[in-house]
Structure 1
Amino acid sequence: MTLGAEEELHLIDLERWQLAARAPQVLARLPKGNYSAEIQRTTVETNTEVVSTLDGLRSELLRLRSGLVDVAAREGLGVAAVGTAPRSEFRDFELTATGRYGRMQEQYRLLVDEQLICGTQIHVGVADRDLAVEITQRIAPRLPVLLALSASSPYWNGLDTGYASIRTIIWQRWPSAGATGPLPDAAAYDELLQDLIASGVIADAKMAYFDVRPSAHAPTLELRVCDACPLVDDAVLIAGLFRAMVRDAEREIEQGVPRGELRPLPLHRAAIWQAARGGLTGRLLDDSAHPRPLPAHEVVRGLVTDLRDVLEELGDWEEVGELVETALARGNSADRQRAAFVQHGDLADVMRSVVEETQGPASGPAIATPALRRYRTRAGDEGIDSNAVPRPNYRRVVEHIRGLGEAGVADREADRDRWATEHGFVFGVAGAQRPFEVDLVPRIVQPYEWAELEAGLTQRARAIEAFLDDVYGERRILRDGVLPEEAVLGAPGWRDDAQRLPGEALRAPIQGFDLVRNEYGGWRVLEDNVRNPSGVAYAIAVRQLMDQVLPDLPRPDHLADPATALEHLRRTVLAGAKPGTRGALLSTGEDASAWFEHRRLADGAGLLLAVAEDLEVRRGTVVQRSTGDRIGSLYLRIDVELPDLLDSSGRPIGAEIMDVTAAGGVTLVNAPGNGVADDKAMYRSVPELIGYYLGERPLLESVPTYRLGDETERQAVLERVGELVTKPVDGHGGRGVLIGPAADAAEVARRRVEIADDPAAWVAQEVVPLSSVPSLEDGLLQPRHVDLRAFVYATGHRRKDYLLADLALTRVAPDGSLVVNSSRGGGAKDTWIVLPEHRRSRARER
């Protein structure tokens, strides 16, 4: 039960934060017994002495890293023990000049050229090779847990791959990687190797790249499945668990316990893939004969519990138990790397973080900020990391809130409620006006994120406008077969009378988009709102509330002013109006759910606020009845389509205005018929619209969506209603949304019946694990799921005429919910947008 380890470590140029192919120069200054070359010149391998304890292994790893770090520093280099260096690129590969490696490159080509990867190999002393082969097969189902703990390679070729360990996916391309399959003894193992060598597929026994193998050069069993670990303690944890797994299997053999039936190789590959994909944030397959996907933390703790007797025998129980809980609390390296990237969107930051961890203490860099001990940490929290420590961009805010104490927070919340009452800050739900709930902890959006959203959302808005112009005009997209006619002309939002608008009209100059961030920090568009998106006035009012209630809350530099959206709104509404006319906001009136917003927008943007009774048509012109003022543009915020609008006397004022619009006498801001572009079924086609109309690739991802009018997709969804989100095609405000994993069996059964009765009326989406932001609950900070509504204004058809407004509304779900809509108990929080440089200069010009 002795221990040893081999670590592969990247050499990093500390000026460029890229891989440095200078291993020969570094190795020339290091002792050959413990340091050696690898196939790529950007990597050095260390080999520990044989030890008998975890403490001894920790000391050896630290000693060898220290020696390498000292020598590398003289070359201006750092060291990073990660599966892939975050900024590595294909062109960084340089082959180590030996005959063997040259032959491998000639034979395997791309497989060799992409080997910019590093692993950790753990050796456990097993002198009997027959015993080693038997142990290998008994422990195979438990290996994915070790991979998940070690996962440290989310980035490859400068991109987030979506995997926790892309190194595993790259490594598995080797013909001799993975599991061996059933083998009775060492002789059979040796025969397998000889057959592989004789086949010409591998050159020698060293190329037996199995997940676990009897070592080719020592009386040990060698674990090869793990990524390199930047924190020494993570490598020590994996060594402790691996040794316990080996000893557990050895004890079974000693006791005559028969080996169970081996898991089929496809299931083994599936379990390894699952661990590589999600690491500790996803699910792992358990080690049962018919494996089930379970939360990773549950599987890890289950393994430790199963191994308790052996760990106690080895004297490792307390240490491994503590290391496991620490690893689960802070996440694996992949989680920490993604958290580092989210701060500024720069992979150089990620490189710095992995170098700092690799070259630092065994347990990782010291944490300077106190942890929030009662905070329910979770993957994907934007403000609090897995150690319950505030992230840098939230640190001053959290410290200020904590400094208030529970009594101070209660006072501020009372001030908030008084402000809301005094200013009539309400939202209509089911005909009643309710207070608009505001959480006092802001959400912070970094400059690089806002720049990313600006590019992606203006692209999406341009494509949607082009689609509306086309389907109410030439209908090229239908003639070309990109969309079927029934998906457009039969959509709930289609209006024949919308074809009457002048050809040059902008149909959707104000568009709203609901976005979510997943657990990896990536943004996805959840819904498009093209009819009458609300939220602008609420976002402005939330900032006004915060300025009044928490004026001393530390604000970041270059914070966007949401009130600037009012000028953008005015410019957008008046863009198509004739000289000498006025712009007006046409509202349903005091019964409208967003009446608060209608009043605020009209007042702030200098627009007339009108209801149906206030308007009439005179000599082909829309006028305000009481003053005779000519209306050149109407911003529609009504609950019905304009052609159906009647005043209190039954006069068809909407149809009369449509006649004026068709003649060019008034411009409509967000015209009738726009619903064809924002129903839930059309959402799935927006990426196709971007390609068709703009000739571009989508810059923002959508959520995988199923159209249930399609029989194949419907059958697949009916089997998975309990796993998906199902929504009515024409729904809004959260109406009719069923989140399958949170629903009971009766709700799922009813939804299946509803879908079967009218399939085209429904869509289904995969559940997105929404990010969370710290929010106040009974004076304490706790995570709440959030989304983001952002707004694009357009004054013309050119790319430069589209503008992302410098404000957004963060909507907050109730505790335990994923639904953020105000009508379903959701609230909001102030959104602090830190402007990117190009928007700062624009703000200064204003």
Structure 2
Amino acid sequence: MAIDDSTTLTVGVEEEFFLVDAAGRLVDQGPETAERGAAAVDGDPDLKPELLRAMVESATGICHSAHQVVEELTELRGALAGAAREQGALLVATGTVPHQQPDFTPVGPGARYRQITAHVGEFMFAGMTCGCHVHVGVEDTAAALRAANHLRLWLPALITVCANSPFHDGRDTGYASTRHLLWERWPSAGPPPYLDSVEQYEELVEDLLATGAILDRKMVYFDVRPSEDQPTVETRISDVAPTPREAALLAVLVRSIVAESLDGDRDFPRVPTQVVRAAQWRAAKDGWGAVVPDPWSDGYRPAPEIFADLVARHAPALRRSDELEFVRSTLASLDETGDGATRQRAAGLDGVVAMLAAQTEGASLTGSQPR
């Protein structure tokens, strides 16, 4: 596939949300909110409860443009937010719960969730997180692994786009993405190793299962991986985005990177996993503007510069799909307003819940909408 064909790849976006009251306390109405939200949307929307009852998840269908991603996420968020209010809750898009919680939140419905909870133990409740997962359609597992070998170099930069969790347990952690640090505690999380074949990946999964640390293949929580359920490569590195526009921006950036991985037969640098992990920590600390590894060289540069170059490389295709102005304007808005963590800090702990609820329900970044 040529780089100019990047917009022919399809994308899908999954988002996770917390339900809280006006004081920031978790509200255990996730299953009911998902059910009511689904009833408010035409068709068969993908809205469902999550591992904990104070969380819900949404997923777009197969999307072909940034416009479609924004449209679907806006509709799904609106349905969930309205249903949450009917349950006495607010829907908030944040990677971590900002405020202290008086007690643990109950586990969501389903035998698998109960099994995972019993297996992992109480640390799971102290590290509740909400992420954004981007799926890009690929031909098969071999193509997904090739894309993952390239995407692993981009993981630190991708953290910065939606860094959206500065508060945890009632205090500012000093990190833009606290979620990243909490999530990395799972035994199968983190950047994957460079993998040369499908057989090598399968051996790795079998070895992880043999340790007993994970219960099934779906618990292979690599930051980028072949999806178990569909022919996609799934990037799982990001906090849930503050707005649908930022989620759509992330999707377009990931799609462009995947397109580059499928362009030709070149190999990608075998950067040690420990180096990728360390760079991810730096990105989680600093958020948008962090200095991260440059995937095109041996050096380090600010993430905004790297993404500006990525967009320039794909400008012809993005212009043809009428996404170029959307991508550029959304990146410019990030430069102006800062990432989600910056906006949460500006609101402060006393005002962050109201800000998050308004932002999640429809307030968007400044800039033109995709047409």
With the length of structure 1 as denominator, give the TM-score of the two structures. 0.40
Contact 2:95-2:131 within 8 A present in 1 as well: yes
Contact 2:69-2:244 within 8 A present in 1 as well: no
Residue among 120, 131, 141 paired with 2:132? 120
- Read off the aligned partner of 2:118 and give its amino acid letter: E
1:225 is matched with 237
SS at match of 2:78: helix
1:318 is matched with 325
Q: 1:88 to 1:228 in 2, by over 3 A?
A: farther
- Read off the aligned partner of 1:89 and give its amino acid letter: Q
Matched, 1:206 2:208: no
Shift of 1:306: 4.2
Contact 1:93-1:116 within 8 A present in 2 as well: no
Aligned counterparts of 1:44 and 1:214: Cα–Cα separation in 2: 23
1:611 is matched with none
Mark the structure with the bigger radius of gyration.
1
Mapping 1:689-704, distance limit 5 Å: none
2:120 is matched with 108
1:335 is matched with 342
Q: 1:234 to 1:90 in 2, by over 3 A?
A: farther
2:361 is matched with 359
2:33 is matched with 26
SS at match of 2:36: coil
Q: 1:177 to 1:289 in 2, by over 3 A?
A: farther
1:302 is matched with 309
SS at match of 1:93: coil
Shift of 1:127: 2.5
Aligned counterparts of 2:356 and 2:294: Cα–Cα separation in 1: 30
Residue among 10, 17, 41 paired with 1:9? 17
SS at match of 1:262: coil
Q: Deviations over 1:592-622 (max 9, x none)?
A: xxxxxxxxxxxxxxxxxxxxxxxxxxxxxxx
Structure 1: give runs of 5+ residues left out of the alignment: 342-346, 366-846
Contact 2:149-2:268 within 8 A present in 1 as well: no
Shift of 1:34: 1.1
Q: Deviations over 1:236-284 (max 9, x none)?
A: 1101101111111111xxx32x213311111100111111000025433
Shift of 1:313: 6.3
Q: Deviations over 1:471-505 (max 9, x none)?
A: xxxxxxxxxxxxxxxxxxxxxxxxxxxxxxxxxxx
Aligned counterparts of 2:307 and 2:11: Cα–Cα separation in 1: 22
Structure 2: give runs of 5+ residues left out of the alignment: 1-8, 39-43
1:85 is matched with 97
2:168 is matched with 156
Contact 2:19-2:26 within 8 A present in 1 as well: yes
Mapping 1:553-592, distance limit 5 Å: none
SS at match of 1:40: coil
Aligned counterparts of 1:90 and 1:250: Cα–Cα separation in 2: 49
Q: 1:112 to 1:247 in 2, by over 3 A?
A: same
Q: 1:312 to 1:210 in 2, by over 3 A?
A: farther
2:84 is matched with 72
Shift of 1:361: 3.7
1:61 is matched with 73
Contact 1:90-1:157 within 8 A present in 2 as well: no
Shift of 1:43: 0.4
Q: 1:179 to 1:164 in 2, by over 3 A?
A: same
Q: When you count helix as a share of all residues, which structure comes out higher? A: 2
Matched, 1:146 2:148: no
Aligned counterparts of 1:290 and 1:93: Cα–Cα separation in 2: 45
Q: 1:297 to 1:48 in 2, by over 3 A?
A: closer
SS at match of 1:29: helix
Q: 1:147 to 1:268 in 2, by over 3 A?
A: same
Residue among 267, 271, 285 paired with 1:259? 267
Residue among 191, 205, 212 paired with 1:179? 191
Q: Deviations over 1:532-589 (max 9, x none)?
A: xxxxxxxxxxxxxxxxxxxxxxxxxxxxxxxxxxxxxxxxxxxxxxxxxxxxxxxxxx
- Read off the aligned partner of 2:365 and give its amino acid letter: S
Aligned counterparts of 1:216 and 1:88: Cα–Cα separation in 2: 35
The structure showing larger relative contact order (alpha-carbon pairs under 8 Å, at least 6 residues apart) is 2
Aligned length: 355
Contact 2:107-2:113 within 8 A present in 1 as well: yes
2:5 is matched with none
1:190 is matched with 202
Shift of 1:234: 0.6
Q: Deviations over 1:365-409 (max 9, x none)?
A: 9xxxxxxxxxxxxxxxxxxxxxxxxxxxxxxxxxxxxxxxxxxxx
Q: When you count strand as a share of all residues, which structure comes out higher? A: 1
Q: Deviations over 1:292-311 (max 9, x none)?
A: 3x334333333433444554
Q: Deviations over 1:181-205 (max 9, x none)?
A: 1212223222221221122111111
Residue among 175, 178, 183 paired with 1:166? 178
- Read off the aligned partner of 1:283 and give its amino acid letter: V
Q: 1:40 to 1:364 in 2, by over 3 A?
A: farther
Q: 1:155 to 1:77 in 2, by over 3 A?
A: same
Aligned counterparts of 1:183 and 1:310: Cα–Cα separation in 2: 29
Aligned counterparts of 2:45 and 2:177: Cα–Cα separation in 1: 30
Contact 1:62-1:362 within 8 A present in 2 as well: no
Aligned counterparts of 2:64 and 2:293: Cα–Cα separation in 1: 31
Q: 1:126 to 1:111 in 2, by over 3 A?
A: farther
Mapping 1:702-781, distance limit 5 Å: none
1:46 is matched with 58
SS at match of 1:17: coil
Aligned counterparts of 1:313 and 1:192: Cα–Cα separation in 2: 41
- Read off the aligned partner of 1:148 and give its amino acid letter: T
Aligned counterparts of 1:349 and 1:30: Cα–Cα separation in 2: 26
Aligned counterparts of 1:90 and 1:217: Cα–Cα separation in 2: 37
- Which has the larger displacement, 315-324 or 118-127? 315-324
Shift of 1:161: 0.3
- Read off the aligned partner of 2:282 and give its amino acid letter: Q
- Read off the aligned partner of 2:230 and give its amino acid letter: A
Shift of 1:289: 5.6
Mapping 1:447-526, distance limit 5 Å: none
Q: Deviations over 1:699-730 (max 9, x none)?
A: xxxxxxxxxxxxxxxxxxxxxxxxxxxxxxxx
Residue among 252, 257, 261 paired with 1:240? 252
Contact 1:231-1:363 within 8 A present in 2 as well: yes
For the aligned residue pairs, the C-alpha RMSD in angstroms reads: 2.2
Contact 1:123-1:223 within 8 A present in 2 as well: yes
1:250 is matched with 262
Shift of 1:108: 1.6
1:274 is matched with 282
Aligned counterparts of 1:323 and 1:215: Cα–Cα separation in 2: 28
Contact 1:244-1:310 within 8 A present in 2 as well: no
Residue among 278, 287, 306 paired with 2:295? 287
Q: 1:281 to 1:86 in 2, by over 3 A?
A: farther
Aligned counterparts of 1:245 and 1:237: Cα–Cα separation in 2: 13
Shift of 1:364: 6.4
Aligned counterparts of 1:77 and 1:196: Cα–Cα separation in 2: 38
Aligned counterparts of 1:21 and 1:230: Cα–Cα separation in 2: 22
SS at match of 1:273: helix
- Read off the aligned partner of 1:194 and give its amino acid letter: E
Aligned counterparts of 2:366 and 2:91: Cα–Cα separation in 1: 15
Q: 1:310 to 1:183 in 2, by over 3 A?
A: farther
SS at match of 1:91: coil
2:6 is matched with none
Q: 1:303 to 1:235 in 2, by over 3 A?
A: same
Aligned counterparts of 1:41 and 1:324: Cα–Cα separation in 2: 34
Contact 2:160-2:289 within 8 A present in 1 as well: no
- Read off the aligned partner of 1:325 and give its amino acid letter: A
Contact 1:152-1:332 within 8 A present in 2 as well: yes
Contact 1:248-1:310 within 8 A present in 2 as well: no
SS at match of 1:139: helix
